[in-house]
A and B are shown apart, each in its own frame.
Chain A
Amino acid sequence: MFLASRNFCCGGIRTCQLRTDLLSRSIKHSTSATMPFRHKNTRRIEGLDSNVWVEFTKVAADPSIVNLGQGLPDISPPSYVKEELAKAAAVDRLNQYTRGFGHPSLVKALSQVYEKVCGRKIDPFTDILVTVGAYGSLFSTIQALIEEGDEVIIIEPFYDCYEPMVKMAGAKPVFIPLRYKNDGNSASSADWVLDPAELANKFNSKTKAIILNTPHNPIGKVFTREELQVIADLCIKHDVLCISDEVYEWLVYKGNKHIKIAMLPGMWERTVTIGSAGKTYSVTGWKLGWSIGPEHLIKHLQVVHQNTLYTCPTPLQEALAQAFWIDYKRMDDPDCYFYSLSRELESKRDRMAQLLKEAGLKPVIPDGGYFMIVDVSTLNVDLSDVDEKQPYDYKFVKWMIASKKLSAIPLSAFCGPETKKQFEKYIRFCFIKKDSTLDAAEVILKNWNKQ
């Protein structure tokens, strides 16, 4: 008989301790209270249990706090989207299983919309997979194509799930930061760039994929054709896949154009492009997304899908399909929701930027997306007496929530371990908020310096 004791810590902000004792199996126990229990988590999820959202959505859940943290709209989705869901749920067979890889009317609508955007034929049944949000697409893509021994390049700052998903697949994330090139007074997301030589150095024989996010969360950068070409050249040279997270593809502001890296020569066959109904139609709670790409890649995502959740909800997919048809028909019309939402958000962006500047903060004006990062170091808030061993931005946000009743997300949540110092003076605001929310934020920011 032997006893072994094991302590381990869950990674992240909160630590927990579990002790497991191993006892000889020949001992029979009839009660569970003092039962030896050897069951801990699998290796694949070791250290992946903490999550910035779980921590910060709890903190900001207080309704007296003006919540500009988590990226969810508090504006209403377009009425026809809601109407289509009501219509769908009234049809009996639409409350039962649909096609696993995507409801036929939805994949057909998606193929039409994206054929128009891309100028190439997209087969609705082989080139598209519908998933539970873009999140589900990221998971399916990574599980399908990434494994132990692979390296995956992730551009910092990054949407936080990329790192744990790559780790859960057994692969190694390789980080490369966007760096701020100090070109002048205006701080724009375009000022944040990759160093081409630094990027090239990250590619080696183990590199399986690079994850691209454009328009970028959290900075709002819209990668230019030239920047995408640098990435594409490296992908082709090293035979690397590109996972292109384009959930904010329609939210691009004046003077900018969203370019799909999959459309660059040599890239379609090695790129999976991910989109989101939640971001397209302001319905984050519908959790529908899609992966579009060549059959020889999508078929593997479909295998993951059929072994994870099999099919997505039918009535939501049907409603989304109908909404897409409505907007597809007016894609040449400025009233199309894809463009009208962008215009609405641009004025909110400008208002937000103005308010932040007046409060003495330095916002980075995003060219796309609905987030804005802000340099808070100019305020010189001294938090050295705060006990926690957290980065400055975490402490700042908690302080701001408590003392100013305004929430945001700390940028170091979006960084790998090496760059946290570089980004800890930034916090992220979300501006897809109704006027009254922005009004409330305005009051707080205008009174900021009064204590």
Chain B
Amino acid sequence: FLSHCLQAKMSRPVQARRLKGVEKNIWVEFVKLAATYSKVNLGQGFPDFPAPDFLTEALMRALARENHMLHQYTRAFGHPPLVKVLAQLFEKLLGRELDPMTNVVVTVGAYQALFCCFQALVDEGDEVIIIEPFFDCYESMVKMAGGTPVFVPLRPNPPKDGKLMSSADWQLDPAELASKFSQRTKAIVLNSPNNPLGKVFSRGELGLIAELCVKHDVLCISDEVYEWLVYDGKQHIRIASLEGMWDRTVVVGSAGKTFSATGWKVGWAVGPDRLLQHLRTVHQNSVYHCATIAQDAVAQSFQRELMLYGKPESYFIQMPKELQQKRDWLVQSLDGVGMKPIIPEGTYFLVADISQFKSDVPDVPNSDEPYDSRFAKWMVKNKGLAAIPLSTFYSEAHKNNYTNFIRFCFAKEEATLKAASDILQKWKQEKTS
């Protein structure tokens, strides 16, 4: 009997079923490739310029203080100074009163806030609408929660005058979107400004989504980590401030993106207590606390920004200004060599159409791997330039719909962007000679 039990046990895989379908992660592969081959890394999304002085100085000040309780546990749902200043800031931004204790939860990066959302709110059998292209973790997190991802694409409508496309030209088809809502739809994930395209959803587009959420009683998980990186005088509109949305939306944000310090892993969720209470339950049963001293320094940085809000020295104003210049510079470089960039309205990512440029990388018939993925791998190995294939941001079923685009990150020093441009120029010359 015992050996029969053991046999049955041993024939079963050791890992839990919830890991099925979420084992692969493209970053593991592409980060390794970049580390091995790249001379210029415009792949993974992190700045190669320093985090602002005021952030690191805030950490140094915290360290210099004799208060060694900063090295011990703080309040589990968020260090009091941080939740207080986040509540103050978001009160301003959302136009409503917020309780720092119940309307804000601090997490280990926006990534963990997303995890808490899905674990707290998505049950087996629930459907979650994801807009393609999407930041890849949404799909795997929905699956791990036992949910079913339902995809709806942004479709490109290129301008008729042959000008370069903007991320605004990629749009949802309203009828197609409406058709994705069913009895089983639990939530829709919105990411604006959007990674990888850089799209900043307009008030009209958000209104459409909001109407459907209200009509079908669906939640909205709103990933707004790039909320401050918006260009050309555009405005980032928060869907939670639209009619009927506050009560059904969790807004996710990131200190890593706000303050160019992705390695600090401080994020948050803002929303109504009746949703956040469930995120708190997940949080207290998974990581429980976040690092105290990092939260303290981020709180101090937000206090600075709150004081400088709207003023030219505000980091929220300086950062997008600087990044817009870098965006424009990269757009020019890419256009100059025959890659067609889609001008992003926001984020620090830019997607370019490589169909005119792709001759070097041969087509492999019957290959499972989408063209852009092979192109990106070939490029990093042979030209030392790292970028991420757009197919990465699509579901398995749709990976081959857009295979001629790659994503560049332009949150880089001038020297890095120049080096990228040099590689591309040289490459173009080699092709034409």
C-beta contact mask, B15-39 vs A, less than 8 Å → 1, else 0?
1111100110101100100000000
Number of chain A residues close to chain B: CB under 8 A: 89
Tell whether A192 is near chain B: CB-to-CB under 8 Å.
no
Majority DSSP secondary structure for residues of B touching A:
helix
Quick one: which of B268-307 are within 8 Å of A by CB?
274-275, 277-278, 280-282, 284-294
- Cβ-based interface call for A74 (8 A): yes
| CB closest residue in chain A, given B66 | A76
Contact, CB under 8 Å: B19 / A32:
no
Give the CA-CA distance A143 to B287 in the complex, in Å: 13
Does A331 count as interface, using CB distance less than 8 angstroms?
no
Residues on B with C-beta less than 8 A from A74 are 69, 72
Residues of A within 8 A of B290 (CB): 132, 287
Please give, as numbers and ranges, the residues of chain B lying within 8 Å of A57 by CB-CB distance: 75
Q: Are B16 and A36 in contact (CB under 8 A)?
A: no
Tell me whether B109 and A98 are in contact (CB under 8 A).
no
Beta-carbon contact of B263 and A95 below 8 Å: yes
Tell me, rounded to whole Å, the shortest Cβ–Cβ distance linking B33 to chain A.
14
> Which residues of B lie under 8 Å from residue A285 when comparing CB positions?
69-74, 289, 291-293
Write out the residue numbers on chain A whose beta carbons fall within 8 Å of the beta carbon of B22: 303, 307
Which residue of the partner chain B has the closest CB to A99? B31
Contact between chains at A145 and B217 (CB < 8 Å):
no
The residues of A that contact B111 with a CB separation of less than 8 Å are 308-310
**Cβ–Cβ contact B120 & A41, under 8 A:** yes
User: Nearest B residue to A132 by beta-carbon distance?
Assistant: B287
A49 to B48, CA, bound (A): 41
Q: B59 in the interface, Cβ–Cβ < 8 Å?
A: yes
Check: B214 CB closer than 8 A to any chain A CB. Answer: yes
Say yes or no for B408: interface residue by CB 8 A criterion: no
A165 CA / B71 CA spacing, docked (Å) = 26
B265 contacts partner chain A, Cβ-Cβ < 8 Å = yes
B174: Cβ under 8 A from any A Cβ: no
Give Cα A54–Cα B75 distance, bound, in whole angstroms: 9
Question: How far is A165 from B286 in the complex, measured between Cα atoms in Å?
Answer: 8
Name the contact of A169 in the complex, choosing from B16, B44, B214, B277 (C-beta under 8 A): B16
**Distance (Å) between the CB of B160 and the closest chain A CB?**
37
B14: interface (CB < 8 Å): yes
- Answer whether A315 and B264 are a contact pair too, CB < 8 Å, given A35-B247, A48-B285: yes
Number of B residues, CB within 8 Å of A: 93
Contact partner of B56 (CB less than 8 A), chosen from A49, A90, A165, is A90
Which residues of chain B are near A284, meaning CB under 8 Å? 71-73
Smallest distance from the beta carbon of B252 to chain A beta carbons, Å? Answer: 13
Query: Measured between alpha carbons, how far is A307 from B136 in the docked complex, in Å?
Result: 10
A161 to chain B, nearest CB (A): 7
Taken together as a complex, chains A and B put the C-alpha atoms of A314 and B262 apart, in Å, by: 9
Q: Which of B4-12, B194-202, B322-330, B419-427 lies at the interface with chain A?
A: B4-12
Of the candidates A48, A286, A314, the one having the most CB atoms from chain B within 10 angstroms of its own CB is A286
Binding site for B on A (CB under 8 A): 18, 25, 28-32, 35-45, 48-49, 51, 53-54, 57, 70, 72-77, 81-82, 85-86, 89-90, 92-100, 132-133, 135-136, 139, 143-147, 161, 164-165, 168-169, 204-205, 237-239, 241, 282-287, 296-297, 300, 303-304, 306-316
Q: Could you pull out 5 A-B pairs where Cβ atoms are within 8 angstroms?
A: A32-B247, A39-B186, A85-B63, A285-B291, A306-B25
- Other A-B pairs, 15, CB within 8 Å; known A94-B263, A204-B5: A30-B243, A35-B247, A39-B186, A40-B278, A42-B278, A48-B281, A92-B48, A135-B286, A139-B286, A144-B15, A285-B71, A285-B73, A287-B108, A287-B287, A309-B107
